[in-house]
A and B are shown apart, each in its own frame.
Chain A
């Protein structure tokens, strides 16, 4: 297990209507322990997973939004959100949670994990992966 592979987690589904978003996040957290090159992609309805200000109390489900904020502590720092998907849903970066990580190579400076990219940039990101996990 010496070789580092590029793992991409593709999220295209909204949370709560199905369990995919939650259980996908569980894989990301476990996978983080394997010291691989991890990237998360949010496109299509997957962008709803990152929308802030959720309250799940009345639907009786646990709100797992705080887990996304913890990703930086697991060294999951590359979170790409597709611009076209946001725009199609009337969303902007300001509607999303503020996800941060501390950059150990830059005196632990706090940096944004979320990077908004175009569909064409997202295509390039997908193309260069070894393993693409979609749920």
Chain B
């Protein structure tokens, strides 16, 4: 089993991403959408945490939300994938189950 975790809150405001990473099992994918995409940027207080998370889970961000917030793809932590809405759909179908961290 591999689960898709969907996070939509800025990790600088709420603990959703932190709680999600605490519960995501190795092999799971964490998709950041809406305000959560800011958590994948380089040079933040969380970048090291994200880098470490990549050792056990896959991380993806929704490109549309990234662009809307003025974050260039080159500024993402290495290893974070960018997907479009079609890619979001593929992540849902490609995992056994999914959970939104509201």
Q: Do chains A and B touch in the complex (CB under 8 A)?
A: yes
B93 to chain A, nearest CB (A): 14
- Stretch of A32-40, A96-104, A126-134 with 4 or more beta carbons under 8 angstroms from chain B: A126-134
- Residue-wise, chain A 56-72 has the 8 Å CB interface mask toward B (1 for contact) of 00000000000000000
Inter-chain contact A134/B102, CB cutoff 8 Å: yes
A119 interface contact, C-beta 8 A = yes
How many positions in chain B have a CB within 8 Å of any CB in the partner chain?
16
A38 to chain B, nearest CB (A): 15
Docked pose: A43 CA to B22 CA in angstroms: 12
B12 interface contact, C-beta 8 A = no
Inter-chain contact B97/A131, CB cutoff 8 Å: yes
Interchain CB contact (< 8 A) of A119 among B23, B97, B102: B23
Inter-chain contact A132/B1, CB cutoff 8 Å: no
Inter-chain contact A10/B24, CB cutoff 8 Å: no
Q: Which residue of A lies closest to B1 (CB)?
A: A127
Most chain B CB within 10 A, of A13, A124, A127, A129, is at A127
A12 interface contact, C-beta 8 A = yes
List B contacts of A127 (CB < 8 A): 1, 3, 25, 28, 97
- Residue-wise, chain A 20-35 has the 8 Å CB interface mask toward B (1 for contact) of 1000000000000000
- Tell me which residues from 111 to 130 in chain A have a Cβ below 8 Å from any Cβ of chain B: 119, 122-124, 126-130
B23 to chain A, nearest CB (A): 4
A135 interface contact, C-beta 8 A = yes
Inter-chain contact B19/A128, CB cutoff 8 Å: no
List A contacts of B28 (CB < 8 A): 127
Closest 3 CB pairs of A and B: A132-B99, A123-B23, A134-B102
B contacts, CB < 8 Å to A: 1, 3, 15-16, 19, 22-25, 28, 97-102
Beyond A12-B19, A12-B102: 4 further Cβ-contacts under 8 Å?
A123-B23, A123-B24, A126-B99, A128-B1
